[in-house]
Structure 1
Amino acid sequence: MSKAGGAPLGRPRGFDADEAVERAMAVFWEHGYDGVSLTDLTRAMGITKTSMYAAFGNKEALFRKTLERYAEGPGSYTTRAAHEATAREVAAAYLNGSVQTSTQPDRPAGCLAVQGFVAAGHLGDNACEALTGWREGNRAHLRDRFRRAMDEGDLPADADPDALAGYLMTLANGIAVQAAAGATRDELQDVADTALRNWPSA
């Protein structure tokens, strides 16, 4: 008999689950969902397929787990940006976070979630729901913060908080795609800085 999401009762799992998820995240991040086989994953995680199924379920379930890890770690710049003092500082922190996360020297280039959306047609409902939830959650964080900025007089009265949130997310997605294609951090930072020159002021 097994406990939920874990190894059989009374039998130690024999590996560090957090480290295994971290390694799987790197593989999905670099190669995307379609470009990764179970053999690729288990080899990177240092476990057998039997152990992978017992601990995480199937490939789709493992991808969802790595997306959660990404959202809490490298992809958490949206949440951090929302705490900035002004709407423009929020936008700058968000775009800068996208540039930095997409061009880390010790991480794959680009964005794990963007890689996932490219393969969305091949994902099951659970993984697609996780991706959609991540995207909509980020948009809501930004939208709500910009609504507050309007209430505080930090954005013009005719600003559209949802459109501004979508604008930033589209830029961030483009930054991630360009990073995966080989663009440098300096090149992408120039893109972010240029976009910010058009930011609306009260």
Structure 2
Amino acid sequence: MKTPQKAPIGRPRGFDTDQALEQAMRVFWEQGYEGASLTDLTDAMGITRTSMYAAFGNKEDLFHKALERYTEGPASYGARAMREPTARQVATAFLNGAVWATTRPGSPTGCLGVQGSLAAGDPGRNARDALAAWRNEHTSLLHDRFRHAVDEGDLPPDADPGLLARYLMTVGNGIAVQAAGGATRDDLQRVADMALQSWPSA
């Protein structure tokens, strides 16, 4: 005699949350926080608003989750660059990664972290602040890495780790803006190569 199976507790979701979040990330990346309407998001995710709220929270909650996914996916070149053995290699990997990520075939151009909410009214203020904090965090990580390089003698003792970090982030952000404006990968790679010509040597 078969043992009767217990009915599952709760109703299983009828969609792949991972895939839905991927689609939401792409919408925010392409349209920005304020430009992405709930209809745009739910249409791309293939779910209803009710399902979106149940799985991800409100639009702002969804944006934060999408930014986390972006950081761990397309923008993961930043974390990988930090592991390079020398400061010059860190800088090279960071800018090359920025060029690759912002011009990747089949993906939106530019950078979610740069263009996601540069100009925002009151409804998008929190998203704008979150992205500013995201960029500042990455600048701080570069700063710490370059300060370590100065201490190790990999950078000259008069090198300014904070200025180098800001320089790299400014060039990387500029690459993203140019990519969103239609600049080609080859053109942007040449920009990255030129920026590295002035990198200090120990």
TM over 0.5: yes
Report matched runs for 1:176-191 at 5 Å: 176-191=176-191
Q: For each residue in 1:9-39, what CA deviation from the matched residue of structure 2 results, as whole angstroms up to 9, or x when unmatched?
A: 6121211111100001111111111221111
Aligned to 1:30: 30
**Which one-letter code corresponds to 1:161 in the other structure?**
P
Q: What residue in structure 2 maps to residue 123 of structure 1?
A: 124
In the alignment, structure 1 segments of 5+ residues that lack a partner are 1-8
Inter-partner Cα distance in structure 2 for 1:62 and 1:194 = 38
Once the two structures are superposed, residues 135-185 of structure 1 have per-residue CA deviations (whole angstroms, 9 ceiling, x without a partner) of 222112211110111011111111110111111001111000000000000
Aligned residues: 193
TM-score (norm: length of structure 1): 0.91
Tell me the percent identity: 67
TM-score, normalisation: structure 2 = 0.91
Amino acid at match of 1:11: R
Equivalent position SS for 2:200: coil
Q: Deviations over 1:25-82 (max 9, x none)?
A: 1111111112211111000000011111111111111111100000111111111101
Q: Is the 8 A contact 2:114 2:131 kept in 1?
A: no
Distance 2:85 2:183 in 1: 30
User: Which of 1 and 2 has greater Rg?
Assistant: 2
Secondary structure of 2:26's aligned partner: helix
SS of residue paired to 1:79: helix
Whole-Å Cα distance in 1 between the matches of residues 81 and 21 of structure 2? 26
Task: Please give the residue correspondences for 1:1-202 in structure 2 after superposition, counting only pairs within 5 Å.
Answer: 10-121=10-121, 122-125=123-126, 127-202=127-202
Rounded to whole Å, the distance in 2 between the matches of 1:128 and 1:33 is: 8
Residues 78 and 141 in structure 1, CA contact (< 8 A), matched pair in contact too: no
Distance in 1 (CA, whole Å) between partners of 2:176 and 2:117 is 12
Q: RMSD across aligned C-alpha pairs, in angstroms?
A: 1.4
Unpaired runs of at least 5, structure 2:
1-8
Could you tell me which amino acid in structure 1 is paired with residue 124 of structure 2? L
